[in-house]
Amino acid sequence: MGKDKVTEEYGSLLFTDAVMQERLPKPTYKELTKVIKEGKALDLDIANEVAHAMKDWALEKGATHYAHWFQPLTGITSEKHDSFITPKDDGSVLMSFSGKELVQGEPDASSFPSGGLRATFEARGYTAWDPTSPAFIKDEVLCIPTAFISYTGEALDKKTPLLRSQVALATQAKRVLALFGKDVTSVITTVGPEQEYFLVKEEDFQKRPDLVLTGRTLFGCAPAKGQELEEHYFGAIRPTVNAFMKEVDDELWKLGVPAKTKHNEVAPAQHELAPIFEQGSLAIDDNLLAMEKLKLLATHHGLACLQHEKPFDYVNGSGKHNNWSVCADGKNLLEPGSNPGENLQFLVFLAGLIAAVDRHADLMRVSVASAGNDHRLGANEAPPAIVSVFLGDELDAVVEGLINDETVEAHGKTRMDLGVPMLPDVLQDTTDRNRTSPFAFTGNKFEFRMCGSQQNLSDPNVVLNTAVAEVCDEFATAMEGKTGDEFTAAALDWVKAALKEHHRVIFEGNGYSDEWEAEAERRGLPNFKTTVDALPQMVTPENIEFFSKYGVLNEAEVNARYVSKAEQYAKLLNIEANTMVDMAKRLYLPAISEYSSSLAASVATKAELGIESKAELELVKTLTGGLDTIYTAVADLESKNADARETEDPQAECEAYRDVVIPAMDALRAAVDEMEPVVAEDYWPVPSYNSMLFWV
Ligand code: ADP
Ligand code: MG
């Protein structure tokens, strides 16, 4: 039987394991597999052979260029294309690509944010191949996923600390598994990112400078209809959107991105794409590819894809759920086993995770902090800014039992001498889903739901991986040397102690409620409401020590990330403020003025005829009052933004934006939005919420 189109094309633009096996000499393939699976170092002879095979394959697929594909601190991907050509003496060219070019590239690093890490005289950085993420072909360019590092070895990107955190977790988890008698070769994290986005008509998008420049609407009065009828979620997908989604699937499948689920989301014009989970850093690369394809391919269908966390007020914004687990030699460690030993191991990882999340709730919060995400977290559409863990009824009962030292009844025949509880066979109960929890156990994985839709998921995974590495380290250090019953008893005690100590982070109720906020405060859980509140947590002495202890980020790298994140926040708000001022002056004020003038002319003409036009006169007064209010609000925003921009200290600058500029932006928006329902549609200079959200 011949292959169907999908299986035929799946991964055809990906330099997959199968392609490598087919094209590389056996010893080279074996060596490379070791590098990939066991994190071994790559030597140049092997790199040369791989580069040669990669080039031949890429040329056959029509590629003309190669690029190191990397993720600077902006979080989005960057690439510089170099062709394969090498001129020969006779005027012809050779297509060449060396091992050195494969393993290392030298982009000029000076124009990427570095948070002050890179002195200007040392502006160059280099990109180093990440062999755990396969090369792929995109628009006739062979793309090589790489890490981006300064010449002094500091990470300038999102991928490097992620890879380091994966190594830290693998190292420490292997120690834990060894205590359970398991000698595993590979421990990986698995990540499944669910991507939300909006689709609007491209013509509407083009008419809105706020969408074009900032990704979100900075003005717009409430639509006549929002999401209250709950008709969009899982609703039938419109043909245009369907055609778009189909093209996205086709393109992603060629790149080996396992796009699986697509559906309409809660808000009108909102959709979701979920892939099947993969190894952590690969899943993040693939998520970035998916985001890029969503954006670019939308234009083929006359659409614009919005990936901002809050493109529209009054309806839900977009998030990205980070489904996460750890897998050792193919076995999911968050899957309870069928015997007591495996269950004890599961409980160690579960209790460890709970401890990790409670201890590093501040870093988890910072890892999802951004100006965009500030619009969602705690706004009754996404989890609050308080980090808590949801377990579900069954697991919660097990945990409660352990905390209260209750004798656990065995289910079935295997009776445990040391009281390791038998876990319910099926924890995965789909009815038992708490959508309001930021960190929820969903059967065999945790789902971190605070992430923003446009963010690179590396940051939250770095925190999670390192935090779990730390608890694994502590467990192993405490247990090493113990065997048999002594180990079982000590391990169970450790589980109980960890659960008792970190019980406060477990919350099964409604995370959106006000009661929870008060309760969380009583429990002493941190609640960093805004990005600006959360940012300083990045650079506390304990957190600097935490990252450096596990070789994930050193002090200079942590400080640089803090500065870069603060700068990004302030710069983004400055752009938003500028855009608002510009739109108010050049679009809204002239439009309102023009409409009021035409009404005023009509009032005057009618007056000459002895007709009194009360309605028009009232409208002219309202519009003129509105113009004055907008004019004043613009001047206020301009001066406050200028002051904020002048602030030297990054934290103080962010505070000025949050406390002074954002309220001025809100005031200007309110003044403009008040005029929108009063001005005739033909005069209003930009598409309304009604037309953007409910297009056909
Ligand atoms: P939801 O109800 O939240 O949509 P799904 O069961 O569809 O949940 O899963 C959401 C995501 O979780 C998918 O991307 C899926 O591949 C991923 N996922 C499933 N198992 C794991 C795992 N062990 N580790 C990481 N992600 C996983
Ligand atoms: Mg989900």
Q: Supply the mean pLDDT for the chain.
A: 92
Beta strand pairing call for 439-441 and 389-390: parallel
Ligand showing the shortest atom-to-Cα distance for residue 432: 1
Residue 10's closest CA among 292, 275, 272, 238? 275
Q: What is the mean pLDDT of residues 587-593?
A: 98
Query: For a pocket test of ligand 1, which of 252, 276, 277 has the largest count of ligand atoms closer than 8 A to its C-beta?
Result: 277
**How far is Cα 272 from Cα 154, in angstroms, rounded to an integer?**
36
| Homologous superfamily of domain range 166-553 | Glutamine synthetase/guanido kinase, catalytic domain (3.30.590.10)
Closest-lying ligand 1 atom to the alpha carbon of residue 334: 23
* 171 contacts 468 by C-beta, under 8 angstroms: no
Overall fold of domain 568-693: Four Helix Bundle (Hemerythrin (Met), subunit A) (1.20.120)
Closest-lying ligand 1 atom to the alpha carbon of residue 433: 2
**How far is Cα 127 from Cα 84, in angstroms, rounded to an integer?**
18
Ligand showing the shortest atom-to-Cα distance for residue 280: 1
Band of residue 311 on the pLDDT scale cut at 50, 70, 90: very high
- pLDDT tens, 312-347? 999 999 999 999 999 999 999 998 777 666 789 999
pTM passes above 0.75:
yes
Q: Length of the chain in residues, anyone?
A: 696
Closest-lying ligand 1 atom to the alpha carbon of residue 193: 14
Overall fold of domain 8-154: Ubiquitin-like (UB roll) (3.10.20)
The DSSP annotation for 96-115 comes to ---HHHHHEE--BGGGS--T
pLDDT value of residue 393:
83
- pLDDT tens, 151-196? 888 899 999 999 999 999 999 999 999 999 999 999 999 999 999 9
- Name 313's Cβ contacts closer than 8 Å, sequence gap at least 6: 217, 220, 222
DSSP category for residue 180:
T
Domain boundaries, the chain: 8-154, 166-553, 568-693
Confidence check: pLDDT of 608 > 90: yes
Asked whether this chain's domains 166-553 and 568-693 adopt the same fold, the reply is: no
Ligand showing the shortest atom-to-Cα distance for residue 192: 1
Closest-lying ligand 1 atom to the alpha carbon of residue 274: 14
- pLDDT tens, 412-443? 434 344 556 666 555 555 445 778 899 999 88
Distance 276 CA to ligand 1 centre (A): 7
Give pairs for 399-405: CB < 8 Å, separation 24+. 399/350, 399/499, 399/503, 399/506, 402/347, 402/495, 402/496, 402/499, 403/496, 403/499, 403/500, 403/503, 405/496
Distance 365 CA to ligand 1 centre (A): 22
Query: For a pocket test of ligand 1, which of 266, 279, 445 has the largest count of ligand atoms closer than 8 A to its C-beta?
Result: 445
- pLDDT tens, 249-294? 999 999 999 999 999 988 999 999 999 999 999 999 999 999 999 9
The structure tokens listed for 384 are 């609050």
- Ligand 1 pocket residues where CB is under 6 Å: 190-192, 194, 261, 274-277, 323-325, 332, 444-445
Confidence check: pLDDT of 661 > 80: yes
Closest-lying ligand 1 atom to the alpha carbon of residue 276: 16
- pLDDT tens, 628-657? 999 999 999 999 999 999 999 999 999 999
- pLDDT tens, 464-503? 999 999 999 999 999 999 999 999 999 999 999 999 999 9
Please count the other Cβ atoms lying within 10 Å of the Cβ belonging to residue 100: 12
Q: Angle, nearest 10°, between helix axes 280-298 and 458-479?
A: 170
Among the listed ranges 30-34, 65-69, 206-210, which one has the minimum average pLDDT value? 30-34
